[in-house]
């Protein structure tokens, strides 16, 4: 990590390598963020971390460097419920980005439709206590009940609260995408209790999707993240029509072991081992969810 004189964190690799793996034409990075630029889009007073600027120009340069064609930009918690920075990035993408918003639970149907016009296709409910002050499940369900047509809910939680999340997830009336597989302990392996619990969630509804993302956050063995590859590959194979992949750039609030994004891309053929699986994870699935 490095921080500038105002304490703003740089959580991304300054010179990511060119991946060895070449993504197929049309590949989507379905989980990434933008920060600011702060002069135009100030961070929320409730932000739990203060990043340096990582705006759309940087994101799109990385997209091209890594060999992707499209991005799904997820509103980062440091911007609170003001989606202006994410909407600006989508508008600058020339149709190559869609977004996931974070909203005030009292948002109206008309405001949600405006977000749809700006390229949003989902809303994110974040349950990580280190990132948000409160996560009112009843209010979230009300929001989920008035989303524009074909939207989905993205949820972010850690494995230790999966059990208590089950009833809430059951009640969500639209498709659900789980960030980073609900952060299982990948050192337990593919048949460990946390992966088993997550599979049981996936088996409970055919419209629960997941992101096979963030070896850097989930695997304490570090790059090349062998535990992650071993635990996640069977999940991608068994649920191949509901898996998404993304870089998580600019890796919000990563304070150590900042990943080389080229190495993250090189994880793709280790968890999606055939061209067919790669096409589903990188193109067919995200296109169905975000561009159809
Ligand atoms: C992520 C992870 C994190 C942060 C955020 O919105 C956010 O600030 O998502 C995190 O700190 O785990 O993958 O997006």
* Distance from the alpha carbon of residue 6 to the mean position of ligand 1, in angstroms: 21
Question: Please, what sign has the CA dihedral across residues 46, 30, 268, 273?
Answer: positive
7 has pLDDT over 90: no
| Ligand 1 nearest-atom number relative to CA 130 | 11
pLDDT band for position 68 (50/70/90)?
Answer: very high
Identify the pLDDT of residue 283.
99
Residue having the nearest C-alpha atom to atom 4 of ligand 1? 252
Ligand 1 pocket: which of 34, 59, 72, 77 to mutate (most atoms <8 Å of CB)? Answer: 77
Distance CA 235, CA 272 (A): 10
Q: Is the CB of 131 under 6 A from ligand 1?
A: yes
Identify the pLDDT of residue 142.
98
Give the CATH number of domain 2-290; options: 3.20.20.70, 3.40.140.10, 3.20.20.140, 3.40.640.10.
3.20.20.140
163 labelled catalytic? no
Q: Is the CB of 77 under 6 A from ligand 1?
A: yes
C-alpha angle 251/36/65, rounded to 5°?
55
85 has pLDDT over 60: yes
pLDDT in tens, 206-263: 999 999 999 999 999 999 999 999 999 999 999 999 999 999 999 999 989 999 999 9
* Distance from the alpha carbon of residue 171 to the mean position of ligand 1, in angstroms: 24
* Distance from the alpha carbon of residue 75 to the mean position of ligand 1, in angstroms: 9
Helices (H), the chain: 56-66, 84-92, 109-117, 137-144, 162-171, 193-204, 215-218, 226-238, 261-265, 268-271, 275-279, 285-290
What is the C-alpha radius of gyration for the chain, rounded to an integer number of angstroms?
A: 18
Identify the pLDDT of residue 3.
78
pLDDT in tens, 161-198: 999 999 999 999 999 999 999 999 999 999 999 999 99
Partners of 126 in the β-ladder: 156
Q: Is the CB of 194 under 6 A from ligand 1?
A: no
Identify the pLDDT of residue 1.
56
| Ligand 1 nearest-atom number relative to CA 179 | 13
pLDDT band for position 280 (50/70/90)?
Answer: very high
């Amino acid at each position: 990590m490095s921080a500038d004189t105002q304490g703003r964190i740089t959580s991304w690799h300054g010179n990511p390598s060119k991946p060895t793996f070449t993504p197929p034409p049309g590949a989507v990075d379905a989980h990434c963020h933008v920060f600011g630029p702060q002069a135009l889009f100030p961070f929320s007073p409730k932000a739990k971390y203060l990043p340096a600027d990582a705006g759309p120009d940087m994101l799109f340069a990385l997209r091209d460097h890594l060999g992707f064609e499209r991005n799904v930009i997820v509103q980062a918690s440091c911007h609170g419920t003001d989606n202006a920075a994410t909407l600006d990035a989508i508008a600058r993408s020339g149709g190559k980005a869609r977004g996931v918003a974070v909203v005030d639970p009292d948002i109206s149907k008309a405001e949600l439709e405006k977000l749809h016009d700006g390229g949003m296709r989902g809303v994110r409910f974040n349950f990580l206590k280190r990132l948000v002050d409160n996560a009112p499940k009843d209010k979230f369900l009300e929001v989920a009940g008035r989303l524009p047509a074909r939207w989905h809910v993205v949820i972010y939680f850690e494995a230790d609260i999966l059990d208590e999340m089950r009833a809430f997830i059951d009640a969500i009336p639209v498709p659900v995408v789980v960030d980073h597989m609900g952060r299982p302990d990948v050192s337990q392996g593919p048949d460990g209790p946390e992966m088993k619990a997550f599979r049981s969630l996936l088996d409970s509804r055919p419209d629960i999707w997941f992101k096979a993302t963030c070896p850097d956050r989930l695997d304490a063995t570090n790059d090349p993240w062998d535990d992650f590859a071993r635990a996640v590959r069977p999940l991608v194979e068994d649920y191949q029509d509901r898996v998404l992949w993304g870089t998580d750039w600019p890796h919000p609030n990563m304070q150590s072991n900042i990943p080389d994004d080229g190495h993250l891309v090189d994880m793709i053929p280790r968890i999606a081992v055939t061209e067919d699986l790669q096409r589903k994870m990188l193109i067919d699935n995200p296109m169905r969810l975000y561009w159809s």
